[in-house]
Homo-oligomer: A and B are copies of this chain.
Amino acid sequence: MPTLQIREALRDAIDEEMARDDRVFVMGEEVGHYNGAYKVTQGLLDKYGEQRVVDTPIAEAGFAGVGVGAAMAGLRPIIEFMTFNFSAVAFDQILNNAAKLRHLSGGQFTLPIVFRGPNAAAHMLSSTHSQAFESFYCGFPGVKVVSVATPYDAKGLLKTAVRDENPIIFFESEVQYGLKGEVPDGEYLIPIGEADIKRPGDDVTVITWGQGVAISLEAATMAADKGIQCEVIDLRSLRPWDTAAVLASVRKTNRVVLAYHGWPYGGTGAEVADFIAREAFDHLDAPIERVCYEDINFSYAENLENLAIPTPEKILAYIERVAYHNI
Interface residues of A (CB under 8 A from B): 61, 85, 88-89, 91-92, 95-96, 99-100, 103-104, 126-128, 131, 135-136, 138-142, 239, 263-271, 273-274, 277-279, 281, 284, 286-290, 295-297, 299
Q: Give Cα A131 to B91, complex, Å.
A: 14
Q: Give Cα A136 to B279, complex, Å.
A: 26
A-B CB contact pairs (8 Å), 29 listed: A61-B89, A88-B91, A88-B92, A88-B95, A88-B96, A103-B127, A103-B296, A104-B297, A135-B136, A135-B139, A135-B266, A136-B136, A136-B139, A138-B266, A139-B263, A139-B266, A239-B265, A264-B271, A265-B271, A266-B266, A269-B274, A270-B270, A270-B271, A270-B274, A273-B274, A274-B277, A277-B288, A281-B286, A281-B287
Q: Give Cα A291 to B299, complex, Å.
A: 38
How distant is A317 from chain B, measured CB to nearest CB, in Å?
15
Q: Give Cα A49 to B96, complex, Å.
A: 35
Question: A128's contact among B89, B100, B239, B287, by CB below 8 Å, is which?
Answer: B100
Q: 4 extra interchain contacts, Cβ-Cβ under 8 A, other than A141-B296, A239-B265?
A: A89-B91, A135-B136, A135-B266, A279-B287
Minimum CB distance partner of A299 in chain B: B103
3 residue pairs, one from A and one from B, having the closest CB atoms: A270-B270, A88-B92, A277-B277
How distant is A177 from chain B, measured CB to nearest CB, in Å?
23
Question: A89's contact among B92, B271, B281, B297, by CB below 8 Å, is which?
Answer: B92
Chain B residues contacting A140 (CB-CB under 8 Å) are: 131, 135, 263, 265
Chain B residues contacting A91 (CB-CB under 8 Å) are: 88-89, 91-92
CB <8 Å contact, A273 and B263: no
Chain B residues contacting A286 (CB-CB under 8 Å) are: 281
Chain B residues contacting A289 (CB-CB under 8 Å) are: 278
Copies of this chain in its oligomeric complex: 2
CB <8 Å contact, B139 and A265: yes
How distant is A297 from chain B, measured CB to nearest CB, in Å?
4
Question: A297's contact among B85, B142, B278, B290, by CB below 8 Å, is which?
Answer: B142
Chain B residues contacting A284 (CB-CB under 8 Å) are: 281
Question: A288's contact among B61, B96, B103, B274, by CB below 8 Å, is which?
Answer: B274
CB <8 Å contact, A126 and B104: yes
Q: Give Cα A325 to B222, complex, Å.
A: 40
Given A96-B88, A139-B136, the answer on whether A270 and B266 have CB atoms closer than 8 Å is yes
How distant is A282 from chain B, measured CB to nearest CB, in Å?
9
How distant is A110 from chain B, measured CB to nearest CB, in Å?
15
Question: A266's contact among B95, B103, B128, B267, by CB below 8 Å, is which?
Answer: B267
Minimum CB distance partner of A97 in chain B: B128
Q: Give Cα A271 to B286, complex, Å.
A: 18
Given A89-B92, A95-B88, A287-B278, the answer on whether A266 and B268 have CB atoms closer than 8 Å is yes
Q: Give Cα A281 to B325, complex, Å.
A: 12
Q: Give Cα A271 to B287, complex, Å.
A: 14
How distant is A92 from chain B, measured CB to nearest CB, in Å?
4
Most buried by B among A89, A274, A284, A290: A274
Q: Give Cα A314 to B269, complex, Å.
A: 26
Minimum CB distance partner of A273 in chain B: B274
